[in-house]
Structure 1
């Protein structure tokens, strides 16, 4: 069962990630064990890549690291969209 989405959850799960989660039960279980805030961090980290090549690398790393038990993307300051200065973009 998926945990309820918190107010801090800002990003929707991309279709490519949903497809992988639907196919990999073990990954989906680990993904659902993350907090909604942690899932948001992973989604933002992957989708914030400017180049498709970087996004693909991050997507692969997301799968590998979550299966290894990591709960957040390493060495990333966090979702910039959670900052107050970015809230105006979500309130439109």
Structure 2
């Protein structure tokens, strides 16, 4: 990650009553990045955990940064805890690595492949992660079939 970052201490806030969390971005994205909407970013939490995400304004007074359960677990932190945050604007293209066996399925289903490629980075990443995280070969195969069905049905994410 390059210089030109913003650093601050943020509090991990629980989103409602669900197991989801965010940190409020204490600056104006318009002043910092020249953008009012979503801003793609790279983050370093507590100088140890890297993450690529988005600053988004979601029915809130300010932009927020989602903090996944995986990140909270790695940090050993929970709702209400403070975390040191360094943020860089992410200008790199976001590429989802597609495993060879999944690519073969897409080669047999051109329409699904085109629909998949038109999806956002996040939705593509979710589908591929869902398949890759299968513990059994049978589950992986079933998920590839299900993914094609879901994409063709217009479902954008898992």
- TM-score under structure 2 length normalisation: 0.39
Q: Which runs of 5+ in 2 are unaligned?
A: 1-91
Q: State the partner residue of 1:43.
A: 128
- Aligned length in residues: 67
Q: State the partner residue of 2:116.
A: 31
Which stretch of the first structure deviates more once superposed, 63-72 or 25-34?
Answer: 25-34
- What pairs with 1:50-61 in structure 2 (closer than 5 Å)? 50-61=135-146
Q: Superposition RMSD on alpha carbons, in Å?
A: 1.7
Runs of 4+ off more than 3 Å: none
**Distance in 2 between residues matched to 1:24 and 1:60, nearest whole Å:** 10
Question: Which SS does the other structure have where 1:21 is aligned?
Answer: helix
**Distance in 1 between residues matched to 2:139 and 2:107, nearest whole Å:** 23
Larger Rg: 2
Q: Which runs of 5+ in 1 are unaligned?
A: 74-92
**Distance in 2 between residues matched to 1:17 and 1:62, nearest whole Å:** 10
Which stretch of the first structure deviates more once superposed, 37-46 or 12-21?
Answer: 12-21
Q: Which has the higher strand share?
A: 2
